[in-house]
Structure 1
Amino acid sequence: MKKILPALLAMGLAFAPASLAFAQDGQGPTENSASEQAAAGEDASAEAAEEGHAETPHYPLKEPETLSWSFAGPFGHWDVGQLQRGLKVYKEVCSACHGMRLVAFRNLEALGYNEAQVKAFAGEYTVQDGPNGDGEMFDRPGIPSDYFPSPFPNHEAAAAANNGAAPPDFSLLAKARAVERGFPTFLFDLFSQYQEGGPNYIHALLTGYGQEPSPQVESLIQEGTYYNPYFISGPALAMPPPLSDDQVEYPDGAPQTVDQYARDVAAFMMWAAEPHLAERKATGFVVMIFLVVFAGLLFVVKRRVWAGTPH
C-alpha cells in the first residue's frame, strides 16, 4: 500500500500538464465563439437602434398638455357652470358605458341644483332594489339617496359588451389616472398644490384620437383597438372616440366642440372624485396663515421671557 500511493501520485503529476492543455484547447474555441457572438449581437443591436427598431416605447407616447383649471392652486374654486355642462356630457354620452357607484344623486345639490331638480334627475334612472316580500329583486325609479347606477349588472357583463375590456368606474378616475411629473417639477408641485394631472390626462385622452401612428408603433396596435398617443397603458385602447362636435347641446351658449366637452367632463370627474377640494384648500390656507402667525408669537414670547437672562 505504501508503494502504490507514491506511484499514483507520480502518475498524476505526469498527466496533469497534458490534461490542463487539453482542457484549455477544448475551451478556447467555445470562449472565442461566445465572444464573437456577443460582439455580433452588439453590432446587430446598434444597427437596429440606428434603424429605430430597437427603441422601447414609453407610454404615454405624448405628454398631456397642462391646462388652466378654475380649481387649480391654493385659491382654486369650482366653476359651477362647467360642472353642470360636464354632468350633461356624462349623462348623455359617458353613462352608456361608465357608472359612478360612489356618487349619490343628492350630491348634485353642490352643483347648484335644488331639491326638486335633484329628485327629477334621479327619477330618470332605474335602480334595482329589494328583495321584496317575495324575496325577489325589483326595479324602481331612483331617489336622491341612490347612487349613480352602473349600465352593466357586473364586471363580466361589462367586459363582454365591450370587446373584453370593462369600462372603468368614473367615481375616482380623475384621482387614479395621471401621468407622473419628473424631477424637478414634482418639487414645485408640493408648493403649488398641483393636483390637475388627472383632468389633464382625461382631456388629452378624449381629444387625442385621429392621429397617425409612427411605423414603429403601428405594428404594436392590435386589431379592434384605437390609436391614442396619450393612453397611459399602451399605444391604443378598446374605447372608440366617444365625443364629436355638436354631440351635446349646451343651453348656456358654450362652444359645442370636442375640446370643450373634454374639459367639462374632466372637471366634473374631478369634482366627483373629490367634491370637497375647494373647501379643503381654503381650510388649508387658513391653517397655514395661523401657523405662521403662531410661530411669530412664540418667537416674540420667547424673546420677552428670556430677555433678562444672561447668555
Structure 2
Amino acid sequence: MVRLFGIAIGAVFCVVLLFAALAPREAAEVDPTLAFHEHPKKAHWSWDGPIGLGVFGGYDRVQLQRGFQVYKEVCSACHSLNRVAFRNLGEIGFSEAEVKAIAKNWVHEVPAINPDTGEASTRPAIPSDRIPLVYANEIAARAANNNALPPDLSLITKARHDGSNYVYSLISGYADVPANFPADRRPEAPLHYNPYFHSLAIAMAPPLSDGQVTYAEGQPEATVDQMAQDVAAFLTWAAEPKLESRKRAGVGVIAFLLILTTLAYLSYRRVWAGVKH
C-alpha cells in the first residue's frame, strides 16, 4: 500500500512538472523605456591600453589637476570624497605648499574637540586629514537634496560599470525628454532626464555649463565635455591611485615569464637532446 501511494505521488509530480513545462506562458512585459537607455560614450583616456601614457605612465597629471578643480568648485557642494586625504593630492602634481593651502582653505572644516571645553567643534583641515564630509549624516544630506542622497565619489568609478565613461557620459549627457517618451514615465520636476542614468530620471540637476570653471592659461577651453572628461579622470585616480604601479608590475611580470619560458624551453632541449624517439 505504501509503495502504491509513493508511485501515485511520483506520477502526480511528473504530470504537474510536464504541465508546467508545456503550458503556454504569458509574454513578459517589456519596459517601454528600455529603448531610450544609452550606453556610455567612449572617451580616450591616457591610461587606456596595457601601458598607458608614455612608456610606463598612465595618468595625465595636468588633466587630473583640472579634474580636481572641477570637483572642488562644482561637485564638492554636494558630493563628498572622504576616502581621499589632502596629502594624496601631492601624487597628482600639487606641491606641499599647495596641498597645505588647499586643506586650510577647504570650504568644510574638520570635526574636532575643543581642548578647553571638551565640546564638539571644528578646525581647518591639515594635509593628513581626509577631505571632509559635506553633510553630517544621511538625514542631513537628504534634507538638503529633496530626499535624494548624493553618493560619496571616492569609489564611484569602481562602483559603476565602465566607470570612467559612465561618469563622463552621465554629467555631460543631460537632454530634453524625447517626444515619443511614454507619457506615464516622463520625469517631472525636480527630476531631470538623462539617458545614461539607470532610471532615466535623475535628481541631480545638470552640474556643468560652458565656462563655469576658469582653467589656467594654456589649458583647454572649459566646455561641458572637457570638464566632464577631466573630473571623470580625477575620480578614476581617486578610486585607483595605484593603477600605474600595477601596470608597471604587470609589465615586469610578463617580461619575467617570457624569459623564464625561454630558459625552460632551452633547458628542455638540452636535457633531451641525446634521447632518440
Structure 1-normalised TM-score?
A: 0.74
- Return the offset for 1:268: 0.3
Distance 1:100 1:112 in 2: 18
- Choose the corresponding residue for 2:105, options 90, 105, 124: 124
1:209 — aligned with what? Answer: 174
C-alpha contact (below 8 Å) 1:171/1:272 kept by paired residues: yes
Structure 1 residues 63-142: aligned runs within 5 Å = 63-76=39-52, 77-125=58-106, 126-130=109-113, 132=115, 134-142=117-125
C-alpha contact (below 8 Å) 1:59/1:230 kept by paired residues: no
Report the 3-state secondary structure (helix = DSSP H, G, I; strand = E; otherwise coil) of the residue aligned with 1:65: coil
Residue 221 of structure 2 is aligned to residue 245 of structure 1 = no
2:244 — aligned with what? Answer: 278
264 and 168 in structure 1: CA distance in 2 versus 1, 3 angstrom threshold: same
Report the 3-state secondary structure (helix = DSSP H, G, I; strand = E; otherwise coil) of the residue aligned with 2:34: coil
2:141 — aligned with what? Answer: 158
2:264 — aligned with what? Answer: 298
Residue 191 of structure 2 is aligned to residue 225 of structure 1 = yes
Report the 3-state secondary structure (helix = DSSP H, G, I; strand = E; otherwise coil) of the residue aligned with 1:139: strand
Structure 1 residues 143-182: aligned runs within 5 Å = 143-178=126-161
- Return the offset for 1:59: 8.2
C-alpha contact (below 8 Å) 2:51/2:248 kept by paired residues: yes
C-alpha contact (below 8 Å) 1:59/1:235 kept by paired residues: no
Distance 1:95 1:55 in 2: 35
What is the aligned-residue identity percentage? 47
Q: Which one has the bigger helix percentage?
A: 1
- Which aligned runs of 4 or more in structure 1 are off by greater than 4 angstroms? none
Distance 1:218 1:208 in 2: 21
C-alpha contact (below 8 Å) 1:64/1:201 kept by paired residues: yes
217 and 61 in structure 1: CA distance in 2 versus 1, 3 angstrom threshold: farther
1:257 — aligned with what? Answer: 223
- Return the offset for 1:131: 6.2
307 and 131 in structure 1: CA distance in 2 versus 1, 3 angstrom threshold: farther
204 and 80 in structure 1: CA distance in 2 versus 1, 3 angstrom threshold: same
- Return the offset for 1:67: 1.2
Report the 3-state secondary structure (helix = DSSP H, G, I; strand = E; otherwise coil) of the residue aligned with 2:185: coil
- Return the offset for 1:308: 2.3
C-alpha contact (below 8 Å) 1:217/1:235 kept by paired residues: no
Matched residue count: 246
Report the 3-state secondary structure (helix = DSSP H, G, I; strand = E; otherwise coil) of the residue aligned with 1:135: coil
Distance 1:250 1:83 in 2: 12
Unpaired runs of 5+ residues, structure 2, are 1-23, 53-57
Distance 2:71 2:80 in 1: 9
Structure 2-normalised TM-score?
A: 0.82
